[in-house]
A and B are shown apart, each in its own frame.
Chain A
Amino acid sequence: MEQLKTIGRELAIGSHGGWGQSKEFLDLVKSIGEARSKAEEDRIILREVESLRRRIAEPDVPRRKMKEYIIRLVYAEMLGHDASFGYIHAVKMTHDDALPLKRTGYLAVTLFLSEDHDLIILIVNTIQKDLRSDNYLVVCAALAAVCKLINEETIPAVLPQVVDLLAHPKEAVRRKAVMALHRFYQRSPASVSHLRLCDNDPGVMGATLCPLFDLISADVNSYKDLVISFVGILKQVAERRLPKTYDYHQMAAPFIQIKLLKILALLGSGDKQASGHMYNVLGDIFRKCEQSSNIGNAVLYESICCVSSIYPNAKLLEAAAEATSNDSHNLKYMGVDALGRLIRINPDIAEEHQLAVIDCLEDPDDTLKRKTFELLYKMTKPTNVEVIVDRMIEYMINISDNHYKTEIASRCVELAEQFAPTNEWFIRTMNKVFEHAGDLVNVRVAHNLMRLIAEGFGEDDEGAESQLRSSAVDSYLRILGEPKLPSLFLQVICWVLGEYGTADGKYPAAYIIGKLCDVTEALLCDDTVKAYAISAIMKICAFEISEGRKVEMLPECQSLIDELSTSHSTDLQQRAYELQALLCLESQAVESVMPLDASCEDIEIDKNLTFLKDFVQQSIENGARPYIPESERSGTSNVSNFKSQYQHEASSHMLRFEAYELPRPSPAHVIPQVSVPTPIADFFPVPETTYNSETSQASKLSSVADASSAAHGIKLHLDGVQRRWGRPTYSSSSGPSSTTSTEKTTNGVTHIDGVGSQSRDKLNESRRQQPEVSAEKQKLAASLFGGSAGKTEKKATSTQRAPKGNTRNAERPGVSRSVSPETSKEKAAPSVPDLLDLGEPNPTSTTIVDPFKQLEGLVGPTPVPSPLDNSVKTSGLETPDLMAAVYTDLPPSGSSSGSLTSTTRDMHSADKTSNTATSEPSIKKGPFPQDSLRKDARARQVGVTPTRNNPNLFKDLLG
């Protein structure tokens, strides 16, 4: 630091060299570099921002100065300070005619503004103009802005210009135009139908693959006929028929290869015929791939992914498996990932690499570890589940990343549920997971655990089940001693203790109740846990009473009841009162309220409330008015109706065009609420009842017209909204309270348990459905593997994942497919010559295959002038060779034809020369020792500490 300061002073005195920036900016950067703390840095930048704010607003700022201000603003914003006052100046700068200023303006605007910013409207016009500019740099700058700033609404404004650019003579512009169209597609798929897939230039073709990838991943089936073209292109690329300029580190156009492989993986997944076309070229790639370079491995990896996702071919799989074994240092990660993909198809592959996998697990690299766990997760079998899950939990305990912790916890749970060898192990594992990641796992997991304990693992053996339960109870009583258990885990514990704590008679009721009371006294205990605990106490008491034993109230339990009956939570209050009421009942009643071990029994809800018939009859005989169903009623409304009306008015500001209805006379006296009093409501205080009837009386006083129209309006529009507020159609509390009361009498558990049992039912249902599903899976697996029967279910599920994208897309009824063909048809109508191309129904049947031609024909009319079309066609007929097309084709304008080929030739020669340059980096670096030393000195001055021994940043880059 001391050193820095002195150097800083030197710099202040000395010159600032040819950085092309002003002294002020240099000083700013320097002082920021010297800043000792974040606060100091903030102060400096704030000062800078203030001065910029002042100076930028001055009336006659020279434009060159303004450019620098804008750049400084960008810098300030990069460091996290608000520069919004300068946005408008950046926008103004895009209007400038001078190229540097315009480019700076666009740069600033793309960095500053979001696509929904208000200022965008001021730029759209400029962009439109610039897209038509003669200067291709202006066009490129505008296209960059288009990518960042154009949103769905403004796409139509620039779309025609961008589409026109697809015929631009400059290859770079065409490429960027394709990218811009891709961006449009991402924002609003419906707006783009012009993706033109044929181009003489391989670079542009490569760019087109990006949007194509998106299109195909959205809808695989409508692009199946392109498989052959893609394979053709890939073949040409792999055989190095592209110009040398596309080589990268001795690989032929690796990025194009990767994109193509990704596309093929999509197209070939689960499709035997399509995959058949690919085997050859994939085999070639495997053979040719060199694994010495990074990029070579990238291509290799991608082809492994492709092989693993397409319809499997034994020979290719073998090759792929061999390829994974050659992993070296940094590539382990990819190797493990590739392995993970391969074992879906053939689990034996991983076994050859067992040791390598174990090494990865021991590796200090976190990322690699996670990837390895992913692999392990995929290869879990009943035989190895214990080891794997134990490893996972061990790792889970030690990490602090909540996001990943959640994931790995849920994976542990999933594996344990799927493969648990014994019940004890399962419960032990779940306990560990809950203990360490309880607050992170899904509530569903907890419910699942409760269900499993309640129902056992599906075997009919009563003994095993009760053994499972008592072992669970044992372990929970032990765990309760530990501090700081997660809430969700406590809920599970409370529920299990309540249901089964006294079931095997090992523990006395008082002991369990005492433990439960302890739970509620813990510091971190929330309301839900308290609710679970008191319900559990209630259950235990009920079991005791129904057994005919006397329940003596522990003092702490009594104090708990007292505390909860004055709780803020009405739910807790209700439970407390319920418990008190239950204690006063006689044993028979208690037994029917809370039957022993009835959590698994289905609860039948008698929606018609037939059991109340006698009561109603009696009331009517005594002179009460008969119940009138809501549909026949009018003129009444209640709280929920009003509420939802407000809701409606707030949520949709639609104008209503129909006239108001005439007020309808309402029946003079309608009191539906009290006509069916609920028997249970007497001893469970339900405050809503009184509230409801009060308000409905109040509503009677209010204007009848209003009420009826309101009610009517609701009936017209508001079903969805009303449902959001709970039970929609009950007009009074009589409905809900009596249904819940039936639940209570059969179940003996209150709301939460009621809900739980519902979800439990659902789970049951899904469980029942499972055999069917797995049979289906097996069928699928059998069809995939050619009827090999000895597959485990796990394998079947994992293989099913591969064609998932496929089936999902099949579900979608061709929405996205309609996007391009429809619009292309529209466009096709006026332009007659293109119809020929469109009408080409089955490109695969043609013997002479020109991939580009096919692509073009499929994707629709291109805005290219027809001469180009013709030339492409002829060249396509002559040779299927891509490169021949590149070289022999006459571009549409004719004038630039010579320049095109000459530029490619230029590039060749340039490439050669630069190749020699790269091959001898030391020579190139030789002449600049002073240069680098000077830079180093400056670096120190500005407060950047380079590495000690080597001032050159990229020493390891070229050496």
Chain B
Amino acid sequence: MIRAVIVMNTQGKPRLLKFYEFQPPEKQQELTRSVFAGQGALLSGRPDNVSNFVEADAIFGPVIFSSLLFVSFVAEITKKKKQEEFKEGTRLVYKHLATLYFVFVFDSCENELAMLDLIQVLVETLDRCFKNVCELDIVFNFNKMHTILDEIIFGGQVLETSSERVLKAVEEISRLEKSSSSVSFVPKSVSGRFGR
């Protein structure tokens, strides 16, 4: 499964953080920092013409809840085996576009090349959504960004890979949001008053 999506700029400032397994804010910062400039200078230290994959076991460690909880009630011994298995294979794929790094962190159940294309889907969608997207769009509309991301990845699994359909869903959401807010905004506040 996908464990995290990180978007940050070339100075290592986070622009969007989404962790699919809970991490406290400090931990999120720490992980982001070490992705950007961790041991062996991760993203910031990589030249342009190298592969987009990095093994990230050292940073992210084993999968915390998903499979371990399950295994724990099967048997102690297999648990240990499993644990070791999961320690291996946390990888990240990144894409460097202009001033931004798009980083997907995922475990051994996903295919690197496919993840690379998923980044492509995300970026394409953003580009269509904001028309020539740039860092600022992402900074100011990061709630919209979350909406888009939620249409692509859901609970750590790939939900949709067609940027048209993502776009359609997002547009529908904003349309409905607008209509519902214009309809319900005033009456609700009034009725709320009277309700009390």
- Could you tell me which A residues sit within 8 Å of B by CB distance? 19-21, 25-26, 29, 63-64, 71, 74-75, 77-83, 97-101, 103-104, 107, 111, 113-115, 135, 137, 143-144, 147-148, 152, 172, 175-176, 179-180, 182-183, 186-189, 203, 207, 210, 213-214, 218, 245-246, 248-249, 254-255, 258, 262, 294-295, 297-298, 301-302, 330-334, 363-368, 370, 399-404, 808, 811-812, 815-816, 907, 910-911, 914, 925, 928, 931-932, 935-936, 938-939, 942, 944-947, 950-958
Contact B99 A946 (CB under 8 A): yes
Contact B134 A79 (CB under 8 A): no
In the bound complex, how far is the Cα of B130 from the Cα of A928, in angstroms?
12
B4 contacts chain A at the CB level, 8 A cutoff: no
With A19-B140, A207-B159 as contacts: A911 and B169 at CB distance below 8 Å: no
- Cβ–Cβ < 8 Å partners of B142 in chain A: 74-75, 78
B14 contacts chain A at the CB level, 8 A cutoff: yes
In the bound complex, how far is the Cα of B52 from the Cα of A931, in angstroms?
31
Contact A245 B141 (CB under 8 A): no
With A808-B81, A956-B97 as contacts: A370 and B154 at CB distance below 8 Å: no
- Cβ–Cβ < 8 Å partners of B180 in chain A: 98-100, 135
Contact A936 B134 (CB under 8 A): yes
Contact A103 B177 (CB under 8 A): yes
Contact B164 A364 (CB under 8 A): no
Contact A82 B25 (CB under 8 A): yes
- Cβ–Cβ < 8 Å partners of B141 in chain A: 19-20
In the bound complex, how far is the Cα of B98 from the Cα of A267, in angstroms?
43
In the bound complex, how far is the Cα of B70 from the Cα of A189, in angstroms?
6
A-B contact pairs, 20 of them (CB 8 A): A20-B140, A75-B142, A114-B22, A144-B150, A176-B159, A183-B156, A207-B157, A213-B109, A254-B161, A298-B113, A402-B39, A402-B58, A403-B57, A815-B74, A935-B137, A946-B134, A946-B135, A953-B134, A954-B98, A956-B97
With A187-B65, A333-B112 as contacts: A907 and B165 at CB distance below 8 Å: yes
Contact A403 B39 (CB under 8 A): yes
Question: Which single member of B26, B40, B73, B160 contacts A400 (CB below 8 Å)?
Answer: B40
Question: Which single member of A401, A947, A956 contacts B58 (CB below 8 Å)?
Answer: A401
In the bound complex, how far is the Cα of B26 from the Cα of A82, in angstroms?
9
How distant is B51 from chain A, measured CB to nearest CB, in Å?
4
In the bound complex, how far is the Cα of B123 from the Cα of A203, in angstroms?
21
In the bound complex, how far is the Cα of B111 from the Cα of A152, in angstroms?
29
A interface footprint on B74-107 (CB within 8 Å = 1, 0 otherwise): 1100100100000000000000011110000000
How distant is A471 from chain B, measured CB to nearest CB, in Å?
35
Contact B51 A210 (CB under 8 A): no
In the bound complex, how far is the Cα of B161 from the Cα of A935, in angstroms?
28
A interface footprint on B154-188 (CB within 8 Å = 1, 0 otherwise): 11111111101100110011001100110011001
How distant is B122 from chain A, measured CB to nearest CB, in Å?
11
How distant is B11 from chain A, measured CB to nearest CB, in Å?
9
Contact B113 A294 (CB under 8 A): yes
Q: Interface size for chain B: under 10, 10 to 19, 20 to 34, or 35 or more residues?
A: 35 or more
How distant is A177 from chain B, measured CB to nearest CB, in Å?
10
In the bound complex, how far is the Cα of B18 from the Cα of A492, in angstroms?
47
Contact B146 A107 (CB under 8 A): yes
Contact B132 A248 (CB under 8 A): no
Contact B113 A179 (CB under 8 A): no
Contact A172 B117 (CB under 8 A): no
Closest 7 CB pairs of A and B: A403-B58, A298-B113, A147-B155, A365-B50, A114-B22, A80-B29, A99-B180
Contact B159 A367 (CB under 8 A): no
How distant is B24 from chain A, measured CB to nearest CB, in Å?
7
Contact B74 A816 (CB under 8 A): yes
Contact B185 A98 (CB under 8 A): yes
Contact A954 B69 (CB under 8 A): no
In the bound complex, how far is the Cα of B154 from the Cα of A759, in angstroms?
49
B190 contacts chain A at the CB level, 8 A cutoff: no
- Cβ–Cβ < 8 Å partners of B184 in chain A: 97-99
How distant is B177 from chain A, measured CB to nearest CB, in Å?
4
**Considering residues B20, B50, B69, B136, which has the most beta carbons from chain A within 10 angstroms of its beta carbon?**
B136
- Cβ–Cβ < 8 Å partners of B100 in chain A: 953
Contact A954 B53 (CB under 8 A): no
- Cβ–Cβ < 8 Å partners of B70 in chain A: 186, 189, 218, 816
- Cβ–Cβ < 8 Å partners of B13 in chain A: 79
Question: Which single member of B46, B111, B161 contacts A366 (CB below 8 Å)?
Answer: B46
- Cβ–Cβ < 8 Å partners of B113 in chain A: 294-295, 297-298, 301, 331, 334
In the bound complex, how far is the Cα of B176 from the Cα of A99, in angstroms?
8
Contact B117 A294 (CB under 8 A): yes
Contact A246 B111 (CB under 8 A): no
How distant is B94 from chain A, measured CB to nearest CB, in Å?
11
Given contacts A363-B50, A812-B75, 15 further A-B contacts (CB under 8 A): A20-B141, A75-B142, A77-B25, A99-B177, A115-B22, A179-B159, A254-B114, A365-B46, A808-B78, A816-B74, A931-B132, A946-B135, A953-B132, A953-B133, A954-B98
**Considering residues B69, B117, B127, B137, which has the most beta carbons from chain A within 10 angstroms of its beta carbon?**
B117
With A295-B114, A928-B131 as contacts: A147 and B154 at CB distance below 8 Å: yes
In the bound complex, how far is the Cα of B121 from the Cα of A401, in angstroms?
32
In the bound complex, how far is the Cα of B74 from the Cα of A218, in angstroms?
10
Question: Which single member of A71, A80, A107 contacts B26 (CB below 8 Å)?
Answer: A80
- Cβ–Cβ < 8 Å partners of B66 in chain A: 186-187
Contact B133 A366 (CB under 8 A): no
Contact B154 A144 (CB under 8 A): yes
How distant is A336 from chain B, measured CB to nearest CB, in Å?
10
Residue of chain A at shortest CB distance from B118? A255
B116 contacts chain A at the CB level, 8 A cutoff: yes
In the bound complex, how far is the Cα of B68 from the Cα of A616, in angstroms?
55
Contact B111 A298 (CB under 8 A): yes
In the bound complex, how far is the Cα of B1 from the Cα of A101, in angstroms?
30
Contact B162 A245 (CB under 8 A): yes
Contact B51 A63 (CB under 8 A): no
How distant is A741 from chain B, measured CB to nearest CB, in Å?
36
How distant is A912 from chain B, measured CB to nearest CB, in Å?
10
In the bound complex, how far is the Cα of B20 from the Cα of A931, in angstroms?
35
Contact A954 B177 (CB under 8 A): no
Contact B143 A365 (CB under 8 A): no
In the bound complex, how far is the Cα of B100 from the Cα of A180, in angstroms?
31
- Cβ–Cβ < 8 Å partners of A956 in chain B: 97
Contact A137 B159 (CB under 8 A): no
Contact B14 A79 (CB under 8 A): yes
In the bound complex, how far is the Cα of B160 from the Cα of A811, in angstroms?
37
B16 contacts chain A at the CB level, 8 A cutoff: yes
- Cβ–Cβ < 8 Å partners of B58 in chain A: 401-404
Contact A939 B135 (CB under 8 A): yes
How distant is B101 from chain A, measured CB to nearest CB, in Å?
12
- Cβ–Cβ < 8 Å partners of B17 in chain A: 78
Residue of chain A at shortest CB distance from B140? A19
In the bound complex, how far is the Cα of B168 from the Cα of A391, in angstroms?
53
How distant is A495 from chain B, measured CB to nearest CB, in Å?
29
How distant is A505 from chain B, measured CB to nearest CB, in Å?
46
Contact B176 A135 (CB under 8 A): yes
How distant is B70 from chain A, measured CB to nearest CB, in Å?
5
Contact A78 B16 (CB under 8 A): yes
In the bound complex, how far is the Cα of B155 from the Cα of A20, in angstroms?
28
In the bound complex, how far is the Cα of B120 from the Cα of A68, in angstroms?
30
Residue of chain A at shortest CB distance from B69? A187
Contact B74 A958 (CB under 8 A): no
Contact B26 A401 (CB under 8 A): no
Question: Which single member of A210, A332, A953 contacts B135 (CB below 8 Å)?
Answer: A953
Contact B14 A78 (CB under 8 A): yes
In the bound complex, how far is the Cα of B161 from the Cα of A683, in angstroms?
78
With A115-B22, A144-B154, A183-B155 as contacts: A63 and B52 at CB distance below 8 Å: no
Contact A182 B157 (CB under 8 A): yes
- Cβ–Cβ < 8 Å partners of B134 in chain A: 932, 935-936, 939, 944, 946, 951-953
Contact A945 B123 (CB under 8 A): no
Contact A935 B140 (CB under 8 A): no
In the bound complex, how far is the Cα of B112 from the Cα of A499, in angstroms?
51
